[in-house]
Amino acid sequence: MSNSQQVFDAWLAGDLTTDACRNALSHDPVWRARFETAAQLQQLARQPDYPPVPQVDTSSMFRQQWGHKTPATTSWWPRLSVGMSALALVISMSPLSLQVQNGGIALRWSEVDPMEMQLQVQQQVAAQLASYKTEQQQYLQTQMQRQQQQQASQLILLKDYLTEAEQKNRRGDMLELVEYLNQQRQADWQYWQDNVQPTQARLNYSPDNRINRQN
């Protein structure tokens, strides 16, 4: 392996700067041309310049998405709220009344107008339905926000993966192209040494050329 090829390989491996490689190959026009071609290819491979991907804690996202998940626990507060509302509705519908007489407490069944009782029941049912509807809307809105955040995180992960994969593919293609050009140049150089140089030498030392030189 020639010294010029070692310098070129060191530059490809990143152990030598571009200016240092250009100066080291200034005496060898063949390897200097190969170096300039590879440098232009590297410059083209760096375009376009993508903006940096924001820092994301990918490990925690993957654990949340595909890791071990604890069973979802249901909050006891909604159940207690519904139970207390049902109890209040039953008490309000019953004709039970509480009275305090002579320092004592007495429970009595009082007579209630059926129309008035039906109206109260309808009002309380409507209030409970409105409260339940509000709670459901809030719950759905919260779930929608969580889903949007999860989708945004997955898109960031996908963009990071595609950017990294594209950079690796570009580097691999560039190295393959440089290797192909090197092989073509070596084949041309070998052909010149095997065919052109001997032919030129025979022409220079032919009898006609000798006579012309003597004249």
d(CA 147, CA 155): 12
| pLDDT score for 74 | 53
| pLDDT score for 3 | 81
Domain locations in the chain? Answer: 1-49, 50-63+79-214
Instruction: Quickly tell me which residue has 């006609």 as its tokens.
Output: 208
Strands, E assignment, 74-181? 96-101, 104-109
Instruction: Please name which of 203, 196, 207, 186 lies closest in space to residue 1, comparing C-alpha atoms.
Output: 186
| pLDDT score for 151 | 79
Q: What is the amino acid identity at position 170?
A: R
d(CA 143, CA 71): 17
| pLDDT score for 100 | 58
Q: Confirm if 8 and 34 have CB atoms less than 8 A apart.
A: yes
Question: Own/partner pairs for 35-39, CB < 8 Å, 24+ apart?
Answer: 35/8, 35/11, 37/178, 37/181, 38/8, 38/11, 38/12, 38/178, 38/181
| pLDDT score for 201 | 60
Q: What is the DSSP letter of 101?
A: E
Distances 189 to 176, 184, 195, 205 between C-alpha atoms, Å: 20, 9, 10, 23
Question: Own/partner pairs for 75-82, CB < 8 Å, 24+ apart?
Answer: 78/135
| pLDDT score for 152 | 78
* pTM score above 0.85: no
90: its two tokens? 């039953």
Q: pLDDT truncated to tens, each residue of the chain (215 aa)?
A: 568 888 888 888 888 888 888 888 888 888 888 888 888 877 776 665 556 666 666 666 666 666 555 545 556 677 777 777 776 666 565 655 656 566 665 555 555 566 776 787 788 888 888 888 888 888 888 888 888 888 777 778 777 777 777 777 777 777 777 787 778 778 777 777 777 666 666 656 555 555 555 55
